[in-house]
């Protein structure tokens, strides 16, 4: 009897992707079996062209346990083709193979030469661009005139075409410089929003593929595209300057048709396309959009619409070199939140609280209004303590406001912006004569549609809230690219994601999403190897950095640029993704070479090249410790009481020099590991040797004989301990010093961005588990639970973003970076940690001493659902663990005993006191 089956078949992390650009896609599956201790002993996988039935690839019967990311090595795949694939497997439990499990995927345009279409640019008046310097931005300087005046409308593009037969399959490939929505015969091609997403457009512009078979028909058809400024031409990232890539928008599409009778044809964007200004007076990602309902042209997307008077497209280009099939999950509407409170003030403004800081926009249904009534929706994340409106965004040109001009429709009208998004919890609506009721208004949550994979709940509500807040910040900042915050900058800061990535992997399937972002990061890497501090990076950003000074002139920075090494390693560890290591390896080498060269060429300014000793000279020629860096960014004590723009320079000054070699060493250490995984042993040996030598230099220059670092902030010490940069015989002293710093700070952390992810692990692993617990449970700022206690629904940028009296500061309330503690909750509180890539082996080591009485957590690994539930009652611990087929867990109990758990369900109870007593005995 067959005891198992292959389930959850995926290609490149997706169920049944279409438009895939990978020439050698990777296949994964999970196994299901009612029996415990199931391991795969072999598999067979086949790929066929579904139209011709041709067998493209078969693995034959392969022995082995591999079921994750099996790379295609068959005949070359063709573009725009449907491939069926099936897999069956053998296990240790039976001689018989499982039944075949089937799935399919489709390739997209695999070569730029597959494109016959042309970029088309609608007639439009280019915007006068609005450009501000970093300094303007840091100082929050406002330009004089209202920005809305200088914005331009959305653009409508339409093309008609005739199909002369029944259609079997129709795929629309489309992209834009700007953001777009496509319709076929007035039906939306898909439910994606803000396509094509944010990319480093000069190098890569993502192409969407839509299955539009159902929407085309024999006879006359129409294809319609609505185009808005998006990231290409709109106001974006730090400065909020506009037109950072270009000041005109354009689009490209190619509709590929397979007729039922076997003929193929295509419809390409070309000179037959007509354009007209759309009903949005403007639509900008930052400042919102203004839609005049009366300007909506009814029926414009239908085939028989009379387009007399529409304009021909003005510019055509056949440069398709940057077009890249989209990789990963698109942006979609993820959820809708009903308001928790609606009030109306004396001015007739309605204040709506959605109870949760989100990324998205409002959908509002209005009663019949007089045509021309102007309804305005403003957004903010936090209010003043007295409930009055407060804008927490300190920056120029980023007022998140949508404006709707009513059409006077007899049955009322509904408005949801289409080409913008906001970071908010509260909306203020003016111009609406009657208050909306709960059913009339909702907050639409937007984000990349990543599969949720984890859950965590404990007996402590505050901890649960902390976890939820991290998840919400993740959701809000994983929109096309990983951003720092969804309201002020929305930049793909490499430091932020480097810090948060491990936590992200527990909550959602982020492998494809982050792989795509890494492709942008690499595209933005400079020739000299510098990896930019954020990506995508526009031509305007490059100009800015050249003329910028101080923090504003930073192009690459310690702890930010190292994302190119750290992030692939995290993805390898969590998803067993070897390709992401391979893909990024050359970029890592280039970055490490830059660090090495700079180290050899430059000395920190406080050193005197003439009086320094030979030893110092040798040491500093190895250490990358010059240039501007963010250091342990936003270390709390450096900000105390200062407005953000005054305080932010202090941590860089105090810690920039020491943080740089710390991350240089981290990158070297990981590069050695990565080279080994890739079978590049000789290179790994070189990295190891260089790491050893540089570590020696670091210890000489920065670690005192008493184990103390030259910096008295907590962060560098945390990192030095975490990255093994303290000699073994000084570790205890260093850890004791760190513990002292924390105690002197009232059991509170004083770690900044790059060190905070390691703080609790370091304390735990150096014998200060009790102190780690006190830092975690701390209620005074800076602490995680202070945020929870003061109403946070997402993670804040500053620990004291809301003062004890409720006064909010003008900082981001939705920065995922400090949410990195969520990974600690999964790994050390619930106790699920990867031990072999992709959780093929994992550790179960819950912290029963954390003060909790119940914890339940699950995460979906590549192999299936890992579940842990534990509880404590009357000194007895009960632990339940589910181990997915084809993986194993190592259970580490407080008694220091280790038990291997095979796949299946396990439950055990034990007396906690005697377990701890057993540890004490072992220690003694
Ligand atoms: C801020 C961002 C981000 C951080 C940089 C250095 O402007 O919000 O979080 O990475 O600075």
55-72, pLDDT tens digit by residue? 999 999 999 999 999 999
Cβ 628 under 6 angstroms from ligand 1? no
Cα 488 to ligand 1 centroid, rounded to whole Å? 10
CB 269 within 8 A of CB 177: no
- Which whole number is the average pLDDT over 205-221? 98
- Which whole number is the average pLDDT over 374-379? 98
CA distance 288 to 294: 19
Residues making up the chain, counted from first to last: 924
Q: Can you tell me which residue has the tokens 């031509």? A: 539
CA distance 577 to 565: 14
Cβ 633 under 6 angstroms from ligand 1? yes
User: Looking at ligand 1, which residue's alpha carbon is closest to its atom 6?
Assistant: 630
Cα 691 to ligand 1 centroid, rounded to whole Å? 29
Cα 497 to ligand 1 centroid, rounded to whole Å? 11
Is the confidence at residue 102, as pLDDT, over 60?
yes
- The confidence score (pLDDT) of residue 685 equals 98
**Least trusted range by pLDDT, from 235-244, 273-282, 297-306, 680-689:** 235-244
CA distance 682 to 686: 6
Q: Can you tell me which residue has the tokens 């759309």? A: 278
Share of the chain above pLDDT 90, in %: 89
Is the confidence at residue 197, as pLDDT, over 90?
yes
Question: Can you read off the two tokens belonging to residue 270?
Answer: 């070309």
User: Looking at ligand 1, which residue's alpha carbon is closest to its atom 3?
Assistant: 484
Is the confidence at residue 644, as pLDDT, over 80?
no
Our mutation pick for probing the ligand 1 site, out of 134, 491, 644, counting the most ligand atoms within 8 A of Cβ, is 491
- The confidence score (pLDDT) of residue 894 equals 85
Is the confidence at residue 887, as pLDDT, over 90?
yes
Cβ 484 under 6 angstroms from ligand 1? yes
The closest alpha carbon to 484, from 633, 378, 585, 591, belongs to 633
Is the confidence at residue 588, as pLDDT, over 90?
yes
Question: Can you read off the two tokens belonging to residue 404?
Answer: 């709707």
Kind of pairing between the strands at 55-58 and 40-49: antiparallel
CA dihedral of 639, 642, 647, 650, whole degrees rounded to 10: -60
Cα 484 to ligand 1 centroid, rounded to whole Å? 6
Higher-pLDDT residue of 91 and 850 is 91
User: Looking at ligand 1, which residue's alpha carbon is closest to its atom 2?
Assistant: 484
- The confidence score (pLDDT) of residue 150 equals 66
625: left (phi over 0), alpha (psi -120 to 50) or beta: alpha
Cβ 489 under 6 angstroms from ligand 1? yes
Atom of ligand 1 nearest to the CA of 495: 10
Cβ 630 under 6 angstroms from ligand 1? yes
- CA distances 625 to 11, 192, 638, 645, 720, Å, are 43, 45, 21, 24, 15
Instruction: Count CA within 13 A, CB hemisphere, residue 382.
Output: 24
- Which whole number is the average pLDDT over 619-627? 97
Cα 390 to ligand 1 centroid, rounded to whole Å? 22
Question: Can you read off the two tokens belonging to residue 507?
Answer: 């909550």
Our mutation pick for probing the ligand 1 site, out of 236, 484, 553, counting the most ligand atoms within 8 A of Cβ, is 484
CA distance 481 to 382: 24
CB 83 within 8 A of CB 106: yes
Atom of ligand 1 nearest to the CA of 557: 6
Cα 276 to ligand 1 centroid, rounded to whole Å? 39
713-723, pLDDT tens digit by residue? 999 999 999 99
Cβ 663 under 6 angstroms from ligand 1? no
- Helices 494-507 and 563-575 pack at an angle, to 10 degrees, of 10
Cα 481 to ligand 1 centroid, rounded to whole Å? 15
Is the confidence at residue 366, as pLDDT, over 60?
yes
Cα 596 to ligand 1 centroid, rounded to whole Å? 26
Cα 389 to ligand 1 centroid, rounded to whole Å? 25
- CA distances 280 to 118, 153, 161, 233, 287, Å, are 25, 5, 27, 15, 13
Is the confidence at residue 918, as pLDDT, over 70?
no
789-823, pLDDT tens digit by residue? 999 999 999 999 999 999 999 999 999 999 999 99
DSSP string for 714-748? HHHHHHHHHTT-S-HHHHHHHHHHHHHHHHHTTS-
DSSP string for 296-346? --TTTTSTT---TTPEEP-EEE---TTEEE--S--EEEEEEE--SEEEE-T
261-272, pLDDT tens digit by residue? 999 999 999 999
DSSP structural state of residue 87: E
CB 363 within 8 A of CB 419: no
Instruction: Count CA within 13 A, CB hemisphere, residue 420.
Output: 33
Cα 346 to ligand 1 centroid, rounded to whole Å? 38
Instruction: Count CA within 13 A, CB hemisphere, residue 104.
Output: 12
CA distance 506 to 816: 14
- Which whole number is the average pLDDT over 434-450? 97
Cα 493 to ligand 1 centroid, rounded to whole Å? 7
In the three-class reduction of DSSP (H, G, I as helix; E, B as strand; rest coil), residue 220 is classed as strand
- Which whole number is the average pLDDT over 478-498? 97
Cα 322 to ligand 1 centroid, rounded to whole Å? 28
Cα 537 to ligand 1 centroid, rounded to whole Å? 14
Higher-pLDDT residue of 548 and 386 is 386
- The confidence score (pLDDT) of residue 909 equals 93
- The confidence score (pLDDT) of residue 129 equals 72
- The confidence score (pLDDT) of residue 139 equals 66
Share of the chain above pLDDT 70, in %: 97
Q: Can you tell me which residue has the tokens 């410089």? A: 177
Atom of ligand 1 nearest to the CA of 488: 8
Is the confidence at residue 771, as pLDDT, over 70?
yes
Helix (H) or strand (E) holding 119: strand 119-121
- Which whole number is the average pLDDT over 117-127? 88
Cα 485 to ligand 1 centroid, rounded to whole Å? 9
CB 880 within 8 A of CB 868: yes
- The confidence score (pLDDT) of residue 552 equals 85
- The confidence score (pLDDT) of residue 88 equals 98
- The confidence score (pLDDT) of residue 590 equals 98
Cα 763 to ligand 1 centroid, rounded to whole Å? 26
- The confidence score (pLDDT) of residue 362 equals 98
CA distance 731 to 233: 53
Cβ 847 under 6 angstroms from ligand 1? no
Residues 6+ apart with CB under 8 A from 876: 909, 910, 911, 912
- The confidence score (pLDDT) of residue 136 equals 72
- The confidence score (pLDDT) of residue 15 equals 97
- The confidence score (pLDDT) of residue 126 equals 67
Cα 449 to ligand 1 centroid, rounded to whole Å? 24
323-338, pLDDT tens digit by residue? 999 999 999 999 999 9
CB 252 within 8 A of CB 174: yes
Distance from the Cα of residue 922 to its chain's centroid = 44
Instruction: Count CA within 13 A, CB hemisphere, residue 47.
Output: 25
- CA distances 241 to 127, 232, 540, Å, are 12, 11, 9
CA distance 454 to 441: 30
137-167, pLDDT tens digit by residue? 666 665 555 555 567 899 999 999 999 999 9
Distance from the Cα of residue 802 to its chain's centroid = 25
Cα 452 to ligand 1 centroid, rounded to whole Å? 26
Atom of ligand 1 nearest to the CA of 485: 8
6-39, pLDDT tens digit by residue? 999 999 999 999 999 999 999 999 999 999 999 9
Is the confidence at residue 182, as pLDDT, over 60?
yes
Atom of ligand 1 nearest to the CA of 648: 11
Is the confidence at residue 531, as pLDDT, over 60?
yes
The closest alpha carbon to 703, from 722, 721, 691, belongs to 721
Atom of ligand 1 nearest to the CA of 238: 7
Question: Can you read off the two tokens belonging to residue 580?
Answer: 């992401």
User: Looking at ligand 1, which residue's alpha carbon is closest to its atom 5?
Assistant: 493
In the three-class reduction of DSSP (H, G, I as helix; E, B as strand; rest coil), residue 161 is classed as strand
Is the confidence at residue 132, as pLDDT, over 90?
no
CA distance 239 to 552: 11
CA distance 51 to 45: 19
- The confidence score (pLDDT) of residue 832 equals 98
DSSP string for 48-80? EETTT--EEEE--SEESS--S-EEP-SSPPPTT
Atom of ligand 1 nearest to the CA of 817: 9
Our mutation pick for probing the ligand 1 site, out of 398, 487, 545, 633, counting the most ligand atoms within 8 A of Cβ, is 633
- Which whole number is the average pLDDT over 434-454? 97
Our mutation pick for probing the ligand 1 site, out of 489, 533, 630, 809, counting the most ligand atoms within 8 A of Cβ, is 489
The closest alpha carbon to 667, from 544, 529, 489, 461, belongs to 529
End-to-end CA distance of the chain: 53
pTM reported for the whole predicted model: 0.97
- The confidence score (pLDDT) of residue 145 equals 55
User: Looking at ligand 1, which residue's alpha carbon is closest to its atom 8?
Assistant: 484
- CA distances 14 to 19, 477, 512, 788, Å, are 12, 21, 9, 35
CB 433 within 8 A of CB 369: yes
Place 393 in a pLDDT band, splitting at 50, 70 and 90.
confident
203 C-beta neighbours (distance < 10 Å), count: 15
Is the confidence at residue 1, as pLDDT, over 70?
no
Cα 383 to ligand 1 centroid, rounded to whole Å? 23
Cβ 500 under 6 angstroms from ligand 1? no
CA distance 844 to 530: 39
Cβ 656 under 6 angstroms from ligand 1? no
CB 752 within 8 A of CB 799: no
CA distance 158 to 299: 11
Could you give all domains of the chain from N- to C-terminal order, each with its CATH number? 4-106 (2.60.40.10), 115-328 (2.60.120.260), 334-448 (2.60.120.260), 841-923 (2.60.420.10)
Kind of pairing between the strands at 413-415 and 350-366: antiparallel
DSSP structural state of residue 696: H
């Amino acid at each position: 009897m067959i005891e198992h089956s292959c389930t959850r078949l995926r290609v490149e992390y997706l169920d049944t992707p279409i438009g895939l650009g990978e020439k050698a896609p990777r296949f994964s599956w999970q196994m299901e079996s009612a029996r415990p201790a199931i391991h795969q002993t072999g598999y067979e996988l086949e790929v066929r062209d579904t139209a011709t039935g041709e067998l493209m690839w078969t693995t034959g019967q392969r022995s082995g346990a591999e079921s994750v990311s099996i790379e295609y090595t068959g005949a070359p795949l063709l573009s725009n083709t449907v491939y069926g694939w099936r897999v069956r497997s053998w296990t240790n439990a039976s001689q018989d193979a499982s039944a075949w499990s089937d799935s399919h995927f489709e390739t997209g345009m695999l070569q730029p030469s597959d494109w016959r279409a042309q970029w088309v640019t609608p007639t439009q008046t280019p915007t006068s661009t609005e450009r501000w310097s970093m300094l303007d931005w840091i100082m929050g300087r406002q330009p004089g005139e209202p920005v809305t005046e200088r914005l331009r409308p959305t653009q409508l593009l339409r093309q008609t075409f005739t199909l002369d037969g029944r259609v079997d399959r129709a795929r629309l490939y489309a992209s834009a410089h700007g953001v777009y929505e496509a319709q076929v015969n007035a039906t939306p091609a898909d439910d994606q929003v803000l396509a094509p997403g944010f990319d480093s457009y000069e190098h890569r512009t993502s192409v969407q593929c839509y299955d539009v078979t159902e929407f085309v028909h024999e006879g006359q058809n129409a294809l319609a595209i609505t185009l808005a400024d998006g990231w290409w031409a709109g106001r974006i990232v730090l400065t909020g300057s506009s037109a950072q890539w270009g000041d005109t928008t354009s689009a490209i599409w190619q509709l590929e048709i397979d007729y039922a009778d076997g003929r193929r044809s295509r419809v390409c964007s070309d000179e037959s396309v007509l354009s007209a200004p759309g009903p949005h007076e403007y639509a900008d990602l930052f400042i919102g959009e203004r839609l005049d309902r009366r300007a909506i042209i009814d029926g414009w997307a239908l085939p028989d619409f009379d387009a007399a008077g529409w304009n021909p497209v003005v510019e055509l280009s056949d440069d398709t070199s940057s077009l890249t099939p989209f990789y990963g999950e698109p942006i979609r509407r993820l959820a809708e939140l009903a308001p928790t409170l609606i009030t109306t003030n004396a001015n007739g403004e309605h204040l709506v609280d959605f109870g949760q800081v989100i990324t998205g926009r409002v959908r509002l249904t209005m009663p019949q209004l007089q045509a021309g009534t102007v309804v305005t929706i403003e957004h903010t994340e936090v209010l003043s303590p007295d409930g009055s409106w407060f804008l927490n965004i300190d920056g120029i040109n980023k007022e998140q406001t949508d404006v709707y001009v009513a059409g006077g429709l007899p049955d009322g009208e509904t408005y949801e912006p289409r080409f913008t998004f906001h970071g908010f919890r509260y909306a203020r609506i003016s111009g609406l004569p009657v208050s909306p009721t709960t059913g009339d208004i909702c907050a639409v949550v937007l984000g990349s549609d990543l599969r949720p994979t984890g859950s965590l709940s404990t007996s402590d509500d505050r901890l649960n809230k902390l976890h939820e807040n991290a998840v919400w910040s993740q959701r809000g900042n994983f929109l096309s690219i990983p951003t720092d915050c969804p309201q002020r900058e929305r930049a793909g800061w490499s430091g932020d994601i480097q810090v948060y990535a491990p936590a992200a992997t527990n909550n959602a399937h982020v492998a494809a999403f982050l792989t795509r972002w890494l492709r942008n990061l690499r595209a933005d890497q400079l020739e000299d190897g510098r990896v930019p501090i954020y990506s995508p990076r526009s031509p305007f950003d490059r100009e800015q950095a050249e003329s910028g000074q101080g923090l504003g002139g930073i192009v690459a920075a310690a702890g930010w640029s190292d994302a190119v090494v750290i992030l692939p390693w995290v993805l390898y560890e969590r998803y067993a993704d070897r390709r992401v290591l391979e893909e990024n390896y050359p970029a890592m080498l280039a970055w490490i070479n830059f660090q090495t060269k700079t180290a050899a060429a430059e000395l920190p300014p406080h050193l005197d090249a003439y009086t320094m000793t030979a030893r110092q000279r040798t040491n500093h020629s190895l250490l990358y410790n010059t240039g501007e860096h963010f250091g342990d960014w936003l270390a709390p004590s450096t900000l105390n009481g200062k407005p953000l723009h005054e305080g932010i320079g202090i941590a860089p000054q105090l810690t920039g020099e020491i943080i740089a070699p710390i991350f240089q060493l981290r990158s070297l250490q990981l590069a050695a590991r990565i080279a080994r995984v890739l079978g590049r042993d000789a290179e790994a040996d070189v990295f190891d040797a260089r790491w050893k030598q540089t570590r020696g230099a670091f210890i000489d220059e920065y670690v005192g004989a008493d184990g103390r670092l030259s910096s008295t902030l907590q962060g560098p010490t945390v990192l030095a301990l975490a990255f093994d940069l303290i000699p073994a015989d000084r570790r205890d002293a260093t850890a004791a010093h760190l513990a002292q710093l924390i105690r002197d700070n009232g059991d509170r952390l004083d770690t900044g961005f790059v060190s905070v992810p390691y703080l609790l692990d370091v304390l735990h692993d150096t014998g200060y588990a009790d102190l780690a617990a006190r830092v975690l449970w701390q209620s005074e700022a800076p602490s995680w639970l202070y945020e929870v206690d003061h109403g946070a629904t997402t993670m804040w940028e500053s620990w004291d973003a809301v003062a004890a009296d409720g006064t909010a500061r003008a900082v981001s309330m939705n920065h995922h970076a400090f949410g990195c503690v969520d990974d600690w909750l999964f790994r050390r509180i619930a106790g699920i940690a990867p031990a072999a890539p992709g959780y093929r082996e994992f550790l179960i080591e819950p912290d029963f001493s954390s003060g909790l009485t119940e914890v339940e957590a699950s995460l979906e690994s590549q192999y299936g659902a890992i579940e842990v539930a534990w509880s404590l009652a009357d000194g007895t611990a009960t632990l339940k663990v589910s181990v997915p087929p084809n993986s194993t867990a190592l259970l580490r109990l407080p008694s220091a005993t280790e038990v291997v758990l095979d796949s299946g369900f396990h439950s055990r109870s034990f007396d906690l006191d005697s377990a701890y007593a057993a540890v004490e005995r072992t220690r003694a």
